[in-house]
Structure 1
């Protein structure tokens, strides 16, 4: 969605968040851009806890208390405690800020049809249902429902460098931008004591840090969209494989490395 909007000149990576959300506050908040949000490096104070600590969780509060209100504004009201771009910290709130910025950039009439006109229909995705919050913003962090086959089409679009049936959907260079480890994530690795999944721009990456890869059974250039309770969309560029898993693993014990080993072993 955002890559398409950038390609059309609706918004840019340098667009300041404060332009649309003046309620931003805290240290260095005026420098925060769309690029920082895409890379989860806004510096906003945020606890991405789930069932393990719901009362201390910003995301639980956002999704279940502010669902009928404005999730992006809720996120913007949290204090900025780090210089944007310096630290990686995963935050569902930043995904919703992105979708809020897009709506404010183009207006509701064009915005509400944008995912279908510019992405889903072009990829022949027929199963898409995407919930909005009380401010009519698509919930960028959650509540997009697709069949496994339709989700795989998103992976295929990326596997083909943003081209679908000879039409360029995503801007040139977008796939490389989103699947390259960002500097804020690299900064975090100085004090890490074990392997950690790398992060690009809204994709998890299997690139190693100095302790190795989280998924050694998979190639280092594999990139993934990982959802709650074991949802997986993984793209294997060299093998030209797209892997989708729909699940409800509420115990949180999924062994992705075992799954990826099975995939790689099946190619031998």
Structure 2
């Protein structure tokens, strides 16, 4: 009898193991996936696999097309759930990130710090010399790399140009939050600290390590990144995984955590050039007003975001292992990084899984 019971238990054990193995094969969203660095291979998972609402797909696509989108991607655990292109855009077409690319500068600054090339707590002039602003030397020396990462340089934000003549004192560094193009000076800091051009360092330390394509182009006073939508999704996937690509640490987790949490006490919805959802209040560009509540109340509270002019978006949602990309023209006449488009878009996205 005892031998019979043992045999039954062994059979049940192996059946249980077999079921577990089958579960991992038939439900690929149980493990994180990273696409190969080269080629077009990218695993997918379906709406039905996730037990999402198929009836919510078409209203979402209709809205995206109505709002002048060019591309839209949803990743769950790294796998493509939706990938759609509109208005003549294709998977191989490059498009600009606009200010969503600020997060690339933040990330590469963190990489340079972990390589001991710089320290974000050091003053900017330590790396690029004095006289990079029109401020008195004592005030200029208050500005650290961290102030550029957090938009708290204290420089006058009424001018976009970053020539010294236009970088004028408004307040002491750290005492005022204002969205400003001066963050691009971090690219000069990295270049000087590394002894390489900004683009070469970026390509070697970030782009090529996660299989992105794209390049930096000069548009007016800004250095703007352009790439395919999948390359943008790769960067989002890196950040979903706290700076790791598969088993490779691209950005250390300490800096990642700093970058994606409130970085100062003025704008609670801002990290290191990342926007943060779910805070009790926030500021917007070109405004000193404090707005109460979450930036996008219809979206998950733990979401952090790269937001660019004309509604370029990277949404990263850790609680759902989700990355969402939107590229395109401005959804509405208002071309700010954040608009009512986000609120409605998230109502339609959340209808997929609620």
Q: Where on the TM-score scale, by shorter chain, does this alignment land: which range?
A: 0.7 to 0.9
Change (3 A) 1:227 1:114: same
Q: TM-score, structure 2 length as denominator? A: 0.60
* Kept in 2: contact 1:86–1:184 (CA 8 A): no
Change (3 A) 1:267 1:125: same
Measure, in 1, the Cα distance between the counterparts of 2:154 and 2:168: 8
* Kept in 1: contact 2:112–2:194 (CA 8 A): no
1:95 and 2:202 matched: no
CA-atom RMSD, angstroms? 2.2
- Deviation >6 Å, runs of 4+: none
1:202 alignment partner in structure 2: 273
Instruction: Name stretches of at least 5 consecutive residues in structure 1 with no aligned partner.
Output: 48-57, 63-70, 190-197
1:54 alignment partner in structure 2: none
- Offset of 1:215 from its aligned partner? 1.2
Higher share in strand: 2
Instruction: Name stretches of at least 5 consecutive residues in structure 2 with no aligned partner.
Output: 1-107, 282-291
- Offset of 1:131 from its aligned partner? 2.0
* Kept in 2: contact 1:75–1:97 (CA 8 A): no
Which has the higher relative contact order, 1 or 2, with Cα contacts under 8 A spaced 6 or more apart? 2
- Offset of 1:12 from its aligned partner? 1.0
Question: Could you report, residue by residue, the CA deviation over 1:83-127 in whole angstroms, capped at 9, with x for unpaired residues?
Answer: 2112211112x2211111111222245x4421111111110112x
Measure, in 1, the Cα distance between the counterparts of 2:143 and 2:303: 29
Question: Could you report, residue by residue, the CA deviation over 1:37-69 in whole angstroms, capped at 9, with x for unpaired residues?
Answer: 00000001122xxxxxxxxxx22xx3xxxxxxx
Measure, in 1, the Cα distance between the counterparts of 2:145 and 2:265: 14
Q: TM-score, structure 1 length as denominator? A: 0.78
Q: 1:4 aligns with which of 111, 121, 145?
A: 111
1:267 alignment partner in structure 2: 353
Measure, in 1, the Cα distance between the counterparts of 2:207 and 2:164: 27
SS of 1:202's partner is coil
Change (3 A) 1:37 1:226: same
* Kept in 1: contact 2:243–2:249 (CA 8 A): yes
Measure, in 1, the Cα distance between the counterparts of 2:172 and 2:165: 15
Q: 2:145 aligns with which of 34, 46, 50?
A: 34
Which structure: larger Rg?
2
